[in-house]
Amino acid sequence: MTDPTRIRNFSIIAHIDHGKSTLADRLLEYTGAVAERDMREQLLDTMDIERERGITIKANAVRLEYRAANGETYTLNLIDTPGHVDFSYEVSRSLDACEGALLLVDAAQGVEAQTLANAYLAIDNGLEIIPVVNKIDLPSAEPERVSAELLGILGGDPNDVIYVSAKSGTGIEQLLEAIVDRLPPPGGVAESPLRAMVFDSYYDTYRGVVCSIRVVDGEINSGEALRFMATDLSDAADEIGVLLPGATPVTRLGRGEVGYLITGVKEIDLIRVGDTVTDAATSADAPLPGYQEPKPMVFSGLFPADGDDFERLREALDKLRLNDSSLVYQPETSRALGFGFRCGFLGLLHMEIVRERLEREYDLDLVATAPSVEYRAHLTDGSTVQVRSPQDLPDAQVLADISEPFVKVMVITPSEYVGTVMELIQQRRGEMGEMTYLTPERVELHYQVPLAEIVFDFFDQLKSRTRGYASMDYEPGDYRRSDLVRVNILLNGVPVDAFSSIVHKERAYRYGRAMVERLRRLIPRQLFDVPVQAAVGSRIIARETIKAQRKDVTAKCYGGDITRKRKLLERQKEGKRRMKMVGQVEVPQEAFISALRIDE
Amino acid sequence: MSDPGALDAAAGERAAYIHIPFCHRRCPYCDFAVVDLGEQPTSFDRYITALEIEISMEPEWCPLKAVNLGGGTPSVLSPEQVGRVLRSLDDSFGLLPGAEVSIEANPEDWTEQHATELRRVGINRVSLGVQSFDPSVLASLGRVHDRATVVDAVRNAHRAGYDVVNLDLIFGTPVESMASWQDTVAAAIGLDPNHLSAYALTVELGTALSRAVRNGAPGPDEDDLADKYEHLVAAVGDRLAHYEVSNWAEPGRECRYNLTTWGQGEYLGFGLGAHGHRDGVRTRNVRRLDVYLRRIEEGVSPEAGREAMGEWERERERVYLGLRLRAGVETGEAGAALLASPAGQRLLAAGVVELHGDRLLVAQPLLTDAVAREVLALDPFD
Ligand SMILES: Nc1nc2c(ncn2[C@@H]2O[C@H](COP(=O)(O)OP(=O)(O)O)[C@@H](O)[C@H]2O)c(=O)[nH]1
Ligand SMILES: C[S@@+](CC[C@H](N)C(=O)[O-])C[C@H]1O[C@@H](n2cnc3c(N)ncnc32)[C@H](O)[C@@H]1O
């Protein structure tokens, strides 16, 4: 067990590519934790998709031993945080496990919204922040400007800023000294029943669920009977240990220490990030604050392109969930798409990651319906219904009104784009909040925007309209009543549930128009004219016609080559078999995918 | 109106297809087995000798009622070379009296002398690759003849005493306007052929046309093709009987070789890439000239693949092939299965197929493949 006064728990808050991983590598190297070449593999999660996207989803913790200038040896626990807004709950739990954070900013880029959002989160959690300017070796580096930005946000003295080059190692020692000097040691009560927070968990095929924990009060001993307070699950601590960064079992973790815990639990569901572990015998009176149920924000129907794959999809989702307790799903039936699942995701990125993994790792061909948020339908009888799918919207006769989730959006942009950003926000039905000049050139803007307007292509639009200079972050806000309607799309008079959508009244026409035009292009001509209509209630707001097919014959002399001709016809037939029948209309898979693709 | 019974009877006759792959230039839309003489000068005699050997290797069979020399461009051969091929067919199998002996010819090859000499060695039907009468369309199809050449060629065929003169037309070339097509149709009818074939320009994989379309050039348009087809049907009217999707003829002058293929009849195939159908087995030859010649010269069969079908597959094939005929096909088991299937019911309801007594037919020939696909998907116990 380590003397708590010699422990420093901290994480690194940084925008993607600002050098978090490189800095972590350097810290490991400097403190002699690992041989250089092993570092990346060790510290970061190795899932392909995460790597490709340049983010780490699952936080993790590494223990470093540092002999400081004062001659004492300190235990530094570097706790990794996920870098994306979709995972802000996980971020805040990881921050909860720390007393301090390094706010790392690229000297050539400056502060970005996500960094700032996480920095605010850290400040709100009472963390001590050390501003760090990285990449000072770059010719384009502007350390003074970036440092001024940081101080504008954090306040404090210019001398507080540490300048490093994670690449070359410049400034690493000053940084380690600052961690020891400026970050407080962990608090907590030693003589008290165990309370440890689970700040991360993942599923390992051999070991079952592995939790990352931070001991707040008391101590945890190997073999001890434990209780997870939120889920009221009891099990023994089969193994506890620390990551050096290789997993090293220990017999005990004391107050302020960080490590991993393995119990007999095999289902990730049963162990929740943010939960408190206590010892079953003496049991703490109350859990640590901050725990929340994982809350999906975005919903989408996932359907196997081939109806026969439904069971495979179920199995794949079950397997994915072992590793991702924030993924929720329940069976859903669509008239157009058959059997599938309505899935809830933390956000759009999460949704894409899940879909990609299902397709790539489980070899499934999926059709995903347009993402939707969770609306609340207020009925005339005073009751409220959750609406996660447009089909769930109650009939107009019983519907009083609808409210939708809003989010608090923060945008950081160069001041020249303020007008552009405001215009975009306005188009997205956003309400302007505070506006702060970080420096004369950079502005921090706050808005309330309907989540539905964000989940589509808001981020891409923001990026393209500001030439990539603006960055954004958002957090959940409240529900507000809005003038929303459901637009139904009818193919040959038959409503196609997969294409219907809840949209703001003023957007209904545009959505309907765009959809019918797209479908007319995407659906091949049939044996008869097929009307494609968009309707709100019984009112048709847009209409196109897919003209009947006129020619479907090989009008060519193909000599005696009957076999090839037959094979061609059979291949075409096979292609048709993969189409979905909507009423009498054959709709190719691609039509679903492309029509639901979000592009304006 | 062609007599359905007479058409069906052709299926029981034996035929042979001879492939002559040589062309002075390859047309941009063509995916047949072709040897471009510009790129690969070849001795015709060596090829003809190979054909003779291949024919002599074929086991004994019935005498033939139809022979078709297709290409490529068979009209580049000398009458003497064509004569050798016909003689060797006659030696091996026998040519029945009144047999149809047809050749595909490029108009520019069809001089009076050539026509006459070919007639003398036994050819009695000619299929002229006219394609269009519009210079800009011909140019875009890579053709070198002009309207006058076609007029001469038809006259030459008549003078030489051919029983059947067929004109091949292609419609729907992207540069072809409706007016241009109307003019081509009028000109073709004006030449009073007793057989007419009109093909929709088809973008075949691996052709220059297909590459151009992939790179953004316009391809044939469905509505344009349908309009032009409908115009042709109306313009020909009763002058010739519309007996197959793409073919019109004076009754009794229908192409017997083609009727054999659509009627699931049997035929021998000789030469590069040739297809045959004998004893219930479909075969195809190699498509590379050097391979073909080497195989033959080593006494090995040039067959590249074969397909034997089960009973039900054959029954389905009978129906889907037969549906190309305007007179339709005997309903039989597969026809009945189609009518009993939901898809068949839809096609019936939409008026695409019709039942006339014991014959099933496609009433909208432009949708024939839509029906064929359903037939091919039928299971025996549906
Ligand atoms: N020149 C320079 N490049 C750096 C420095 N630190 C990181 N980088 C580079 O910046 C890029 C992103 O770094 P990485 O550590 O992967 O960023 P992360 O996304 O925050 O983990 C990589 O190409 C690094 O090599 C630095 O101090 N100087
Ligand atoms: C074997 S080909 C041509 C023989 C001869 N060399 C000629 O050009 O007339 C027979 C006929 O098929 C038709 N044809 C060939 N390729 C075609 C295509 N891609 N689309 C439509 N018709 C085609 C043409 O009308 C052609 O005359």
CATH number at A396 reads: 3.30.70.240
Q: Dump the DSSP string for A185-233.
A: PP---SSS--EEEEEEEEEETTTEEEEEEEEEES-EETT-EEEETTTTE
DSSP bridge pairs for A73: A67
CB distance A138 to ligand 1 below 6 Å: yes
Statement to judge: residues A46 and A158 lie in one domain: yes
Predicted local distance difference test score (pLDDT) of residue A47: 43
| Structural domain contains residue A293 | no
Buried-exposed string B251-264: b where 16+ CB fall within 10 A, e elsewhere: eebbbbbbbbbbbb
Statement to judge: residues A525 and A588 lie in one domain: yes
Predicted local distance difference test score (pLDDT) of residue A83: 57
| Cα(A501)–Cα(A503) distance, integer angstroms | 6
Q: Chain A: give the shortest CA distance to residue B205, in Å.
A: 12
Mean pLDDT of B267-275: 96
DSSP code at position A37: G
Q: Reply yes or no on whether the pLDDT at A401 is more than 70.
A: yes
Q: Reply yes or no on whether the pLDDT at B160 is more than 50.
A: yes
Statement to judge: residues A362 and A402 lie in one domain: no
Each residue of A459-496: pLDDT tens digit? 778 888 988 778 787 888 899 999 999 999 999 998 88
Each residue of A26-61: pLDDT tens digit? 998 888 754 444 444 444 444 444 434 333 334 378
3-state secondary structure of B242: strand
User: In the block, which residue shows the tokens 């839509």?
Assistant: B370
User: In the block, which residue shows the tokens 């090293």?
Assistant: A248
Here the ipTM equals: 0.90
Q: Which of A183, A180, A116 is nearest to A154 (CA)?
A: A116
Statement to judge: residues A200 and A241 lie in one domain: yes
3-state secondary structure of A600: coil
Q: A22-31, A62-71, A85-94, B144-153: which has the minimum mean pLDDT?
A: A85-94
- The confidence band for A84, taking pLDDT boundaries of 50, 70 and 90, is low
- The confidence band for A115, taking pLDDT boundaries of 50, 70 and 90, is confident
The whole domain housing A136 covers 4-182
Does an H or E element contain B186, and which? helix B178-190
Please tell me which residue of chain A has the smallest CA distance to B70. A559
The preferred substitution site among A22, A26, A56, A114 for testing ligand 1, maximizing ligand atoms within 8 Å of CB, is A22
Statement to judge: residues A80 and A170 lie in one domain: yes
Cα angle: B316, vertex B318, B321; to 5 degrees: 105
Predicted local distance difference test score (pLDDT) of residue A592: 78
| Structural domain contains residue A187 | no
| Structural domain contains residue A189 | no
| Structural domain contains residue A437 | yes
Mean pLDDT of A167-186: 95
| Cα(A396)–Cα(A28) distance, integer angstroms | 61
Statement to judge: residues A495 and A454 lie in one domain: no
Q: Chain B: give the shortest CA distance to residue A368, in Å.
A: 28
Q: Which of A10, A55, A92 is nearest to A475 (CA)?
A: A92
Statement to judge: residues A27 and A165 lie in one domain: yes
Predicted local distance difference test score (pLDDT) of residue A412: 85
Residue nearest to atom 1 of ligand 2 (CA): B71
Q: Reply yes or no on whether the pLDDT at A382 is more than 90.
A: yes
Predicted local distance difference test score (pLDDT) of residue A374: 92
Statement to judge: residues A471 and A507 lie in one domain: no
Each residue of A283-329: pLDDT tens digit? 889 999 877 777 788 899 999 988 889 999 999 998 888 767 788 89
Strand B125-131 vs strand B95-105: parallel, antiparallel, or unpaired?
A: parallel
Burial of A91 (C-beta count, 10 Å sphere; 0-12/13-18/19+):
buried
* Range picked from A90-104, A172-186, A256-270, A431-445 for highest mean pLDDT: A172-186
Each residue of B323-366: pLDDT tens digit? 999 999 999 999 999 999 999 999 999 899 999 999 999 999 99
Backbone angles phi, psi at B368, to 5 degrees: -55, -40
CATH of the domain at A30: 3.40.50.300
Domain range summary for chain B, segments of one domain joined by +:
4-262, 311-376
Query: What atom of ligand 1 comes closest to residue A25's alpha carbon?
Result: 15
Mean pLDDT of A269-273: 80
DSSP bridge pairs for B277: B267, B282
Q: Reply yes or no on whether the pLDDT at A246 is more than 80.
A: no
Q: Reply yes or no on whether the pLDDT at B250 is more than 60.
A: yes
CB distance A579 to ligand 1 below 6 Å: no
Q: For residue B371, which amino acid is it? A: V
Q: Which of B353, B309, B363, B251 is nearest to B10 (CA)?
A: B251
**From the candidate CATH numbers 3.30.450.40, 3.40.630.30, 3.20.20.70, 3.40.640.10, the one assigned to the domain spanning B4-262:** 3.20.20.70
* Count of beta carbons in the 10 Å neighbourhood of residue B164: 21
Predicted local distance difference test score (pLDDT) of residue B363: 97
Q: Chain B: give the shortest CA distance to residue A563, in Å.
A: 7
Higher pLDDT, A447 or A368: A447
Ligand nearest to the Cα of A556, by number: 2
CB distance A26 to ligand 1 below 6 Å: no
Predicted local distance difference test score (pLDDT) of residue A597: 63
Q: Dump the DSSP string for A251-319.
A: SEE-TT-EEEEE-S---GGGS-TT-EEEETTT--SSPPTT-------EEEEEEESSGGGHHHHHHHHHH
| Structural domain contains residue A583 | yes
User: What are the tokens at B316?
Assistant: 């389905």
Mean pLDDT of B170-186: 98
Residue partners of A59: CB distance under 8 A and separation at least 6: A11, A79, A80, A81, A82, A90, A91, A93, A94, A199, A200, A212
Q: A46-50, A282-286, B178-182, B186-190: which has the minimum mean pLDDT?
A: A46-50
- Say if CB A384 and CB A377 are below 8 A apart: yes
Domains held by chain A: number: 5
CATH of the domain at A574: 3.30.70.2570
User: What are the tokens at B297?
Assistant: 């010269």
Statement to judge: residues A318 and A364 lie in one domain: yes
Instruction: Inform me whether the C-beta atom of residue B198 falls under 8 Å from chain A C-beta atoms.
Output: yes
- Say if CB B102 and CB B126 are below 8 A apart: yes
Q: A97-101, A282-286, B292-296: which has the minimum mean pLDDT?
A: A282-286
| Cα(A365)–Cα(A154) distance, integer angstroms | 48
CATH of the domain at A331: 3.30.70.870
Task: Describe the strand order of the beta sheet including A298-304 as a list of residue ranges.
Answer: A328-334, A338-345, A298-304, A366-368
Predicted local distance difference test score (pLDDT) of residue B1: 65
Statement to judge: residues A40 and A107 lie in one domain: yes
Average pLDDT, chain B: 95
Higher pLDDT, B9 or A164: A164
Chain B stretch 106-125, residues whose beta carbon is closer than 8 A to a beta carbon of chain A: none
Predicted local distance difference test score (pLDDT) of residue A85: 55
Going from the Cα of A21 to the center of ligand 1, the distance in angstroms, rounded, reads 7
- The confidence band for A369, taking pLDDT boundaries of 50, 70 and 90, is confident
CA distances from B199 to B110, B132, B133 (A): 21, 11, 15
Q: What percent of chain B has pLDDT over 70?
A: 99
Statement to judge: residues A491 and A511 lie in one domain: yes
Q: Reply yes or no on whether the pLDDT at A204 is more than 80.
A: no
Mean pLDDT of A266-270: 77
Predicted local distance difference test score (pLDDT) of residue A94: 85
- The confidence band for A367, taking pLDDT boundaries of 50, 70 and 90, is confident
Cis check: omega of the bond before A338, within 30 degrees of 0: no
Please tell me which residue of chain B has the smallest CA distance to A558. B32
Predicted local distance difference test score (pLDDT) of residue A273: 83
Mean pLDDT of B116-134: 98
| Cα(A455)–Cα(A290) distance, integer angstroms | 26
Predicted local distance difference test score (pLDDT) of residue A33: 58
DSSP bridge pairs for A258: A214
* Count of beta carbons in the 10 Å neighbourhood of residue A105: 30
Q: What's the pTM?
A: 0.66
Q: Chain A: give the shortest CA distance to residue B152, in Å.
A: 24
Neighboring chain A residues of B309 at a CB cutoff of 8 Å: none
| Structural domain contains residue A329 | yes
CA distances from A499 to A545, A594, B172 (A): 17, 11, 36
DSSP bridge pairs for B308: B281
Each residue of B216-247: pLDDT tens digit? 999 999 999 999 999 999 999 999 999 999 99
Residue partners of B262: CB distance under 8 A and separation at least 6: B11, B244, B321, B322, B324, B325
Helix axes A310-323, A348-361, angle to 10 degrees: 120
- The confidence band for A572, taking pLDDT boundaries of 50, 70 and 90, is confident
Residue partners of B35: CB distance under 8 A and separation at least 6: B21, B22, B23, B42, B72, B272, B289
Statement to judge: residues A13 and A151 lie in one domain: yes
- Say if CB B322 and CB B372 are below 8 A apart: no
Mutate to test the interface with A, among B14, B376, B378, B379 (most CBs of A within 10 A): B376
User: What are the tokens at A50?
Assistant: 């995460």
Separate counts of helices (H) and strands (E) for chain B? 15, 17
